[in-house]
Structure formats: structure tokens, C-alpha cells
Chain A
């Protein structure tokens, strides 16, 4: 009875999805193109994102998405980043007192999966790290950016924890403290980059804005737009690098905390508030 009901619901959902799709493609909600005014906005972004002939308006990055995320609406991204970090801080506060460490003098080769899996994983981890670095460092030229690269890089410690065991990860340097340092470094870098131009403006006696990238009409200083002849998007490169560090380290902290064996977590939680 229950099973028949389940399949009836599924078939009804499929039929209604198909009906809705048919109605939309037949023009039921109006045709797909957005209003002309919205298209002008898109045209403006695409025209100015990399345009050496309009130096007062360009973000000097061929990748429009990264330019929008870190330049045109950089402040929104800053607050998105802070939401992510508050979530990491909250999870660390929730799991305070839980120590992520390997017991002294253990045989690491006894833990984890078989030698075949470990060998394959060693190669895969190298590939993951190289791919993530290229996603983050090319973020101002090709699709990708700091968050994308950082999320990809965070898969590497996760795979190491699952395949080689938590103790291997901790003894090879993926520690809570070092990840926290990396994360703080990334945050600090984002802060420094967003205030760099305004500090330079104060020193040089010129007007500048927080989060300024390229020189503007009333604020004539900015980040260098090209490095060695390659468009680097000014601040975008630095934001991508620091966001990469911060996101990868933040995710790794969460995985380290989640992979601590349940018995030792229970011991800490039952120990009450007085525990270190």
C-alpha cells in the first residue's frame, strides 16, 4: 500500500514537471529573453570588464564573473566570506576542547586502506592540488576563483583523512593549529588587499576608496593591471589567492574535527564545562 502510494507520488511529480516544462517552452510564462534594460546592464559589464580603451571604468580582468564577484560587487563577497568564517568559528566553538592528535608511537601503516588505494591516492592528491591551484591562480583569466579553488583543494585533506587515517594527516602536518594559522593569514590578506589602495592614497595624498581596484575618475591610483604583460586584474589576483587559502584551511578544520573518533569526542562532551 505504502509502496504503491510512493510510486504514485513519483509518477505525479514527473508528469507535472513535464507539463510545466512544456507550458514554459510554449511561452506560458512569457518568452525567455529578459527585459531590454537588464540586457543593457549585462552589456555594460561585458564591455568594461576588460577594456584598455576605457581605463577609468575597466576592472582589467577578462573573466567577467570574477570581476563582478571581487570588484563590481566586492563588498557583497566580503560579507559572504565573513558568513562562511562565522560558520567555521561556530563549529570550532561547538567542538572546543576536542584535541585532534595522534597517539604517541603508533604504527601509521596499520591504519587506513590497502597499499593499492594509498598509492593511487598519492597521485590523485597531487592532481587535486595542482588543479585547485590553477583554478585559483587563473581566476582572473579563466572560469574559477578563490572559493572554487579552495573548495577543490579541501578535497585533498579529506581524501587523505579517509584513505590514510586521521593520524597520518595529523602527523604529516595537517593540524588544527596550522590550518587555523593559514586561515587567519588568508583573512588578513583579504583585509590588507581591500585597504591597500586607501592606505597608499593617504600616504601619497590622493583620494581613494576601500575595495578600489583600478584608478577611477576622482581617485587616480590603483593596483597594477598587468604583470609581465599578462592582465592580472589588480586586486582580483590577491583576493583569489587569499580566499583560496582561507577556504581550503577552513574546510580542512571542519573535516579534522568531524573525523575525530566518536569515543574521544564523547569523553570530552561528558566531561562537562570545566574541561580544558
Chain B
């Protein structure tokens, strides 16, 4: 039988791994639109982690900034510049 603490820390570990993979994908992705989406996935995982770590004040500022405002700013900038990172396509 898994104890509740172990379950909570397991969920935390899973969210941490999801956020790490999403960050890696965001850094490696050449399509910047997809990179923003990966970054939003990372932010969502972090939001759940803040909630599990009992930091509701941080969560309340993190959700609008990291899931709403920050992707919006980046999307505006991508619209104004280029969608693909420099260099030739593979």
C-alpha cells in the first residue's frame, strides 16, 4: 500500500519530469509557435507543483503571468518577427 505522502511526492516528481522534458523540447524546437506551447506545458506543470507545495500566493500570480500574459507577449513578438528560428531547414 502506498502512503499518501509517497503519492504526493510521486505526483510532484512526475510533474517535475514533465516540466523538464517540456523545457528541453521548448529549447530544441525550431518552430517558435510550438516552443511557446511547450513552455506553457512547463508552466502548467509548475502551477500544479506550487499548489502541491502549498504556495497559493505564488500560484495565483504564476497562473496569469506564466500561462496567460507571457505566452501572449511571445506570440505577439512572433507575429511581428519570424515564426522559424534562423538557418536552413533540415
Chain A: interface residue count, which band?
A: 20 to 34
B20: chain A residues at CB < 8 Å are 13-14, 17
B24: chain A residues at CB < 8 Å are 9-10, 13
Of B64, B65, B68, B79, the most chain A CB neighbours within 10 A belong to B64
**Is A135 a contact partner of B60 (Cβ separation < 8 A)?**
yes
**Is A251 a contact partner of B69 (Cβ separation < 8 A)?**
yes
Given the known interface contacts A6-B28, A10-B24, the answer about A152 and B64 at a Cβ–Cβ threshold of 8 Å is yes
**Is B60 a contact partner of A155 (Cβ separation < 8 A)?**
no
**Residue A270 at the chain B interface, CB threshold 8 Å:** no
**Is B72 a contact partner of A144 (Cβ separation < 8 A)?**
no
**Is A148 a contact partner of B21 (Cβ separation < 8 A)?**
no
**Is B60 a contact partner of A255 (Cβ separation < 8 A)?**
no
* Chain A residue with the shortest CB-CB distance to B90: A2
B69: chain A residues at CB < 8 Å are 151, 154-155, 158, 251
Q: Mark B56-76, 1 if CB is under 8 A from A, else 0.
A: 110111011100110011001
**Is B60 a contact partner of A258 (Cβ separation < 8 A)?**
no
B26 to chain A, nearest CB (A): 12
**Is A258 a contact partner of B73 (Cβ separation < 8 A)?**
yes
Q: Which of B16, B56, B65 meets A143, CB within 8 Å?
A: B56
**Residue A70 at the chain B interface, CB threshold 8 Å:** no
Which B1-46 residues have C-beta < 8 A from chain A? 9, 13, 16-17, 20-21, 24, 28
Q: List 5 A-B contacts (CB under 8 A).
A: A10-B21, A144-B56, A145-B57, A152-B64, A255-B76
Q: Which residues of B come within 8 Å of A, CB atoms?
A: 9, 13, 16-17, 20-21, 24, 28, 56-57, 59-61, 63-65, 68-69, 72-73, 76-77, 79-80, 90
Q: Which residues of A come within 8 Å of B, CB atoms?
A: 2, 6, 9-10, 13-14, 17-18, 21, 25, 65-66, 135, 143-145, 147-148, 151-152, 154-155, 158, 162, 251, 254-255, 258-259, 262, 265
